[in-house]
Copies of this chain bind each other. A is one copy, B any other.
Amino acid sequence: MNFADRLLEAIDKKRNPSVIGLDSDFTKLPNSLKQDFRERFGSNFEAVGKCILEFNRRIMDSIKDVVPAVKIQMAFYEQYGHQGMKAFEDTVTYAKQRGLIVIEDAKRNDIGNTARAYSAGHLGRVDLFGDSVRSIDVDCITVNPYLGSDGIVPFLEDVKGNEKGVFILVKTSNPSSSELQDLTSGDRKIYEIMADYVNKWGSSMVGEKGYSSVGAVVGATYPKEVKILRKIMPRSIFLVPGYGAQGGGARDVLPSFNPDGFGALIHSARGVIFAYEKTGDENEFNSLAREAALRMKDDITLALKESKIGNW
């Protein structure tokens, strides 16, 4: 099934248009968990990787019936080299076994055969002595469009051929996103021009539910811009960072949705997976994450209901 259809089905089934980020920063993991892994495996990157994986497993076990998907932030794994990468891969496997859709937040970008190598590794198939086999095999990856079509098309081929998805950076949630993305060229902003490309790139990958497997990253922190972008990319699913820790509330994310109540996937990471930091009870980190995930779900779906957006 087309990625967009799968994602929408999962959103509908869980009655939840939000995604939890496994931004599993090792420095922020519960101390007791860290100590346990240090004792068992020593003070090395292998122990770090295994500890991150265990943290992720417990978080996923506690939210797997709440959210349709997890977004795994590659930076927090890759920084520990191949041991971190192993933890990333094992997290992907575990998530899929629990029926969670996996969005890899890696913001990859390159051109030609190099972009093809990235896409093959993350979404498609790689060569193994003449055989063509799956490698990291996430459902979806974020990509950066600075290099233009040459950097995007190789990913689109795997989106099409392997029923995968991409979310392309358009208007990011951070303050300095304005430096490049808000520049005006002709009578349009750069983010509008990029949105045109995303709409075009995704037009041939629209599923049965009316959405494309080529989505866009559009920050919740700029509701006015989101409105404009929703019009330019009516069939793209928006991956929306900025809710929670970055300052956006449920009202701010509403413009990301289409009138049918779909088309947006609201993201929160720290506010959920590190919810324990606020209460201080680190042994309850997983149940506190579950509570935070449920609060987020209720917060967003209530705002959608009140605004009569879709059938929530």
Within 8 A of B (CB), among A104-160: 107-115, 117-118, 120-122, 126-129, 131, 135-136, 144-151
Query: Does A99 have its Cβ within 8 Å of any Cβ on chain B?
Result: no
- Determine whether the beta carbon of A82 is less than 8 Å from that of B83: yes
CA separation between A107 and B169, bound complex, in Å? 14
**Interface size counted on chain A using CB atoms at 8 A:** 73
**Cβ-defined contact, B80 with A135, below 8 A:** yes
Give every chain B residue within 8 A of A204 (Cβ-Cβ).
Answer: none
Partner pick for A176 among B149, B174, B186, CB 8 A cutoff = B149
User: Contact between B147 and A114 (Cβ–Cβ < 8 Å)?
Assistant: no
B176, A148: Cβ atoms closer than 8 Å: yes
Contact B146–A169 (Cβ < 8 Å)? yes
Please give me the residue from chain B that is nearest to A37 by CB atom.
B129
Asked if A81 is an interface residue, CB under 8 A from chain B, the answer is yes
Q: Is the CB of A126 within 8 A of B79?
A: yes
On chain B, the residues within 8 Å of A128 by CB distance are: 43-45, 48
Q: Complex formed: what's the CA distance from A124 to B112 in Å?
A: 30
Closest chain B CB from A32 CB (angstroms): 13
Write the nearest CB–CB distance from A119 to chain B, whole angstroms: 9
